[in-house]
Amino acid sequence: MRTMALLLLAALNAGSAEPERLLAEGSALRDAMALPEAKARHSMVHRGEPGKSMFNLHSYLVRFEGKFFAMWSSAKVGEGDPDEIVVYATSADGHSWSVPKILADDPDGPEGPLRWIARGFFVEGGRLFGLAALVSTERYGERGRNVVWEDLELRLFEYADGEWTARGLYADECMNNYPPVRVAGEYLMVCRDKNMDLYVALTDSPSRGWRRISIPHRPPLERLDEPSLHIAGDNTLQAVIRDNSRSGYLARSISRDSGKTWSAPVRTNYPDATSKVFVGRLQDGTYYLINNPNQKGRDPLAISFSKDGWVFDRPVAIRKNAPAFRAPGRAKPSGSYQYPHAIEHGGSLWVIYATNKEDIEITEIRLSDLHR
């Protein structure tokens, strides 16, 4: 028995010796555009409308009361414009969607500096909640010298009887990437502060406030963004992180004490176009990682798989050969699929994402068609 226990422990710890090894074989993504495309069904959630909603990004998905809910950030022209709001739509089958309605409206008019950024859904106690970040002036080009997001607050909204109601401040100075998870009896979120520096927010009750735990980082990994958190098979917490210094690879940080301390992030061997990544886990225990593995641009959007949450392989494209954009706007890359979120439902993986930051689309992939 002791020998078996030692063998099991060794197996669980095998991946932990190589935190840089996120991709099993580097050659698997050497030519991302050559990846086979998964058998899938693609549908439009919302097509951007000229003069009304030609910027759409930050999409999230959830199931509640027997239907799909999607939320995303929307503006008339481009990303970060002062008229950016959060909208949502619903669907019974995941393919036919309602006309978007407002979840968080512009608080000071289209010319005022305040705007909203969609931050995701969570369900707790049978109730559906949404998160949105409120910010004013934004100075991306001054990161490291000045505040990037002025007046940053993460606000809570609740859905009931067909309406969203504002429930006030959820976390101060937190640009989360995904909603909180429960770990060892506490709520945990990975956030960026007003200067875009990463930290972990922990609390036993959001109403009593959050304590901050820094994720240590130093050059060349001092510009880390948009982390995705998962619990690996050995119960380590892992943050897979976009490297905004444009190395072309994802980074990873690890916690072995339920998020109370974190390792210094390391650059992994998993290629990335410098975009948002999402790591999830299927009901059968399989982990999946969705990102843009083409270092030259956000096409294709691809998925790979892991048994232990440490090392991923068997990549396939979810979408590739994106169309050109229909209208220019701030920070809108033409020919792109980006910013994925996914949930499992009804024997399928449902992936929501933005095309050219103009349209919100959804892809259904039957799990039986995935080689996991």
CA distance 186 to 100: 34
CB-based contact 290:302 (threshold 8 Å): yes
Contact in structure between 59 and 352 (CB atoms under 8 Å): yes
What pLDDT sits at residue 12? 42
User: Of 338, 331, 344, which is closest to residue 302 (Cα–Cα)?
Assistant: 338
Q: What is the pLDDT of residue 330?
A: 87
18-369: which CATH number, 3.30.70.250, 2.60.40.1510, 2.120.10.10, 3.40.50.300?
2.120.10.10
Q: Which is it for the CA torsion 253, 256, 261, 264, positive or negative?
A: negative
The H or E element that residue 357 is part of is none
What does the alpha-carbon distance between residue 211 and residue 189 come to, in Å, rounded to a whole number? 11
List the pLDDT tens digit at each of the 372 positions of the chain: 333 333 344 344 444 468 999 999 988 999 999 999 999 999 999 999 999 999 999 999 999 999 999 999 999 999 989 999 999 999 999 999 999 999 999 999 888 989 999 999 999 999 999 999 999 866 666 665 667 888 899 999 999 999 999 999 999 999 999 999 999 999 999 999 998 899 999 999 998 999 999 998 888 998 899 999 999 999 999 999 999 999 999 999 999 999 999 999 999 999 999 999 999 999 999 999 999 999 999 999 999 999 999 999 999 999 999 999 999 888 898 999 999 999 999 999 999 999 999 999 999 999 999 865
The verdict on pTM exceeding 0.95 is no
Q: What are phi and psi of 41, to 5 degrees?
A: -120, 125
Secondary structure of 122-134 as H, E, C letters = EEECCEEEEEEEE
Structural domain spans, the chain: 18-369
Q: Which helix (H) or strand (E) holds 5?
A: helix 2-13
Asked if 323 and 337 touch (Cβ cutoff 8 Å), the reply is no
Q: What is the pLDDT of residue 145?
A: 62
